[in-house]
Structure 1
Amino acid sequence: MPLHDPAHAFVPYPDVPVRSAPTGPLADLRFGVKDLFDVAGYPTGGGSPIVLAMSGIKTHTAPTVQKLLDAGARFAGKTVTDELAFSMNGNNAHFGAPINGAARDRITGGSSSGSASAVSSGLCDFALGTDTGGSVRAPANHCGLYGLRPTHGRVSLEGALDLAPSLDTCGWFARDAGTFARVADVLLGADALPLPATPRLLWPTDLWAMLEAPVKEALDGAAERVQSLLGKASPVEVALESWDAMYWNFRYLQGRESWLTDGPLIERHAPPLGPGVAERFAWSRDVTDDQVNAARAFRVAFRTQLAELLGTDGVLLMPTMPDIAPRRDAADDSLEDYRNRAIRMLCVAGLSGFPQLSMPLAQRGGAPLGISLLGPAGTDRSLIALAEGMAR
């Protein structure tokens, strides 16, 4: 890991050498690994003192990390994550708040906070994160990075700590589209059913209607740029029933699974959980079977609806987040309000399991602002190819 970490992005573990291939497609790149993934020679802390204390030193490296090492990428260190990966703010009550390299007075976003911080601060070339409810897309938006939530299950999470397995995905960050695509070639390979070179671009009016006017204006230029290359987007609506229904059904699924994952540890050891995290787990404990069963049926219906809307060639052009990153000194209730607004946007990919790529194509008030492409299941590499074309 870096001898000097001005962004507080890396967990300060003792430096243990991690072997990578001497040559390969990523041999000139250094990468960070969110501290949910096992790396031989290191503990896996999950942003939690109790998980860290129980971890021990791992003897095997997670397959996704090993793929990158085998492609020649060099390990830069394990990056800070929000506590138990159940936050979107990038402020860990036990391990601190990594610095947003693109807007130092604003939060990085979480829970892949350290990975986004390390890349945006130039401490490594790319970094692995995970995305359950938005933990790659939110930091990508906030820190001016490319970030992908892949098709659910496409990138292995073996050897990584769970939060909500039916929603958890492994993504990554890079500052430029070219580097991002090189990593994609290693982790994704080719799409089984790629998008056409000029897909059918769709404009989800109900998503764009969530934005306040200054945010919409800030994204207008990026949206026009995408349409100048891919064609004018046709208006559609994506929500099933209502955005409240989308929000709550996502929350019920995430809540039940996160409690099944971490509830036993919390009940046995009563660890002191940080602000927001404690309240979310307490809420999750009380999600009912009826709520979960209804949410599972809702997810199936929504996934079917979105698949029919997209077909094999449709791509949504959508905002990534409601706005630029909140300030680091924002009040807790303000951050929670922002998080709840964000989930209404982020849950489209979460409930469907479809890939969403956030691109750093706009800014507002001197801070980055992302815009996203969301495609059918399995079109991850095609979305990245579209971003490469825009960057060129």
Structure 2
Amino acid sequence: MIENDPFRCFVPYPEAPVKHASSGPLAGLTLAVKDLFDVKGYPTGAGSPTVLALSGIKTKTAPIVKAFLEGGARFVGKTHTDELAFSLNGKNAHFGSPVNPAAPNRITGGSSSGSMAAVAGRLADIGLGSDTGGSVRAPASYGGLFGIRPTHGRLPLKRAWPLAESLDTAGFFARDGEVFARAANAVLGKDRLSLPETPRLLLADDLFAQAVPEAERVLRNVVQRIVPILGQPETVRAVSDMDALYWAFRWIQGREAWASDGAMIERYAPPLGPGVAERFAFGKAVSDAEVARGDSVRKAFRAKLARLLGKDGVLMLPTVPDVAPLVSAGEPELEDFRNRALRLLCLAGLSGFPQISIPVAHRDDAPLGLSVIGPKGSDKSLVAFAVRFERAARIRLA
């Protein structure tokens, strides 16, 4: 277990023994687990004092955690999460906020804040998180890490605290491509669709335009650096109506979040933190008509993206609009950035397709990720491509 935690990554639970395989593809690597997933011998708090009080000590371990342990990874602790996983900022009004090791004056992002900080701070090799609206991908960009949101349903979520059932996924972080690929090979299983070694590259012009101009310039330069090795991308328009996608995601997420946590909130009236309270109130008020409209938009976008990618396409886009906001930013500024980020992050959630944030750039001395989205079920081959992409960018940069 970790005795020194300078980045405030870990929930200070009393230590309990957690068995792992003595050999396997992940032998010699350490694992940090977001405090949404059950680990035998520990409570599960979900970033909420009320959930923690109700939890009790778990007697079984979540299947996805077991998959890492059976692969040989050694558990080193449970990590902080934003309250009920309903935030992108990495701030928790009750338990405090982890420090971003890659940019201490900037937020970690959330809700997988502690897992990101543990990996970026070299306190763990692999960080298990969850991603509903960007909770692995945004922190990965902010911390200079690889981070994957797999195909929806690819990794099990049994014995994990839910947020929005049709959008929730498990995901994970790693600092370098070799460990990222080892983790993917250990837990992702067999691809339903394998990308070719050199997939058809698509640059989403409209999505790059969602980034701030300075970030867009930096990321477009990264794409140009990899062209001699990976080929010239085709420029495409990925989205017909960004506002429609944004609201479809908000309505679906809001309704499902209230379905997950609303009964607990109404029964115990927990003091919810800034932003979290407002998002649950929004979710409670979502109408049946809005959910139906959101589902219709989701189905149409999923079909459009499937046609665009085919069986061999990879879509490139900014993970988020810019580097992480400053820790000193106020709630209105953070909420504005969150809403802008959701316009990029909602695409994988609505489609259910896999997305990986790749650590390829910096701006203002802070990390900035570029993402790739692949066809449904192409996760392992998308990981292999993401690792090649990062190496190509690094070679050209050197």
Residue 333 (1) aligns with residue 322 (2): no
Q: 2:165 touches 2:256 (CA, 8 Å); kept in 1?
A: yes
1:69 aligns to what?
69
Shift of 1:235: 1.4
Contact 1:141/1:358 (8 A) holds in 2? yes
Please, which moves more after superposition, 200-209 or 216-225? Answer: 216-225
Matched, 1:129 2:139: no
Tell whether 2:294 aligns with 1:301.
no
SS in 2 for 1:93: coil
Q: CA deviation at 1:225?
A: 2.8
Please, which moves more after superposition, 324-333 or 222-231? 222-231
Q: CA RMSD in A?
A: 0.9
SS at the partner of 1:282?
Answer: helix
CA displacement at 1:209 relative to structure 2: 1.3
Corresponding residue SS for 1:272 = coil
| Letter of the structure 1 residue corresponding to residue 284 of structure 2 | R
Aligned-pair CA distance for 1:388: 2.3
The match for 1:323 is 322
1:297-341 superposed Cα distances (whole Å, 9 cap, x missing partner): 111111011101111011101110000000101011000000000
SS at match of 1:224: helix
> Partner of 2:48 in structure 1?
48
SS in 1 for 2:154: coil
Residue 194 in 1 paired to residue 194 in 2? Answer: yes
Look up the equivalent residue of 1:144 and give its one-letter code.
G
Say which SS state the counterpart of residue 7 (structure 2) adopts.
coil
Q: What is the one-letter code of the residue matched to 1:72?
A: G
Q: Contact conserved, 1:127 with 1:173, CA < 8 A, in 2?
A: yes
Shift of 1:391: 4.2
Q: TM-score under structure 1 normalisation?
A: 0.98
In the TM superposition, residue 52 of structure 1 has moved relative to its aligned partner by 0.3
For the 8 Å contact 1:196–1:313, the answer to whether it is kept is yes
The DSSP-based 3-state class of the residue aligned with 2:186 is: helix
* Superposed counterparts of 1:96-111, under 5 Å: 96-111=96-111
Q: Is 1:8 equivalent to 2:8 in the alignment?
A: yes
**Post-superposition CA distance 1:3-44 (Å, at most 9, x none):** 111110000000111011111111100010000000000000
Where does residue 348 of structure 1 map in the other structure? 347
Partner SS state of residue 84, structure 1? helix
Q: CA deviation at 1:185?
A: 0.6
* 1:292 counterpart SS class: helix
Q: What are the within-5 Å matches in structure 2 for residues 1-392 of structure 1?
A: 1-240=1-240, 242-392=241-391
Distance 2:196 2:389 in 1: 15
Q: CA deviation at 1:162?
A: 0.5
Q: Is the 8 A contact 2:193 2:376 kept in 1?
A: no
Q: Deviations over 1:240-295 (max 9, x none)?
A: 4x111110011000000000000000111100000000010011110000000111
Work out the CA distance in 2 between the residues paired with 1:144 and 1:246.
Answer: 27
* Contact 1:221–1:362 (Cα < 8 Å) also in 2: no
Q: How big is the shift at 1:227?
A: 3.0
Fraction of identical pairs, as percent: 58
Whether the aligned pair in 1 keeps the contact of 2:7 and 2:101 (CA below 8 Å) is yes
Q: Which string of whole-angstrom CA distances, capped at 9 and with x for unpartnered residues, describes residues 144-165 of structure 1?
A: 0000010000011111010001
Q: Is the 8 A contact 1:263 1:285 kept in 2?
A: yes
1:211-231 deviations in whole A, cap 9, x for unaligned?
222111221332123333321
Segment drifting more, 358-367 vs 203-212? 203-212
Q: Structure 1: which 4+ aligned runs deviate by more than 4 Å?
A: none
Q: What is the CA–CA distance in structure 1 between the aligned matches of 2:370 and 2:390, rounded to whole Å?
A: 14
SS at match of 1:244: helix
What 5-or-longer segments of structure 2 have no aligned partner?
392-398
Q: Structure 2: how far apart are the matches of 1:285 and 1:329?
A: 30
SS of match in other structure, 1:369? strand
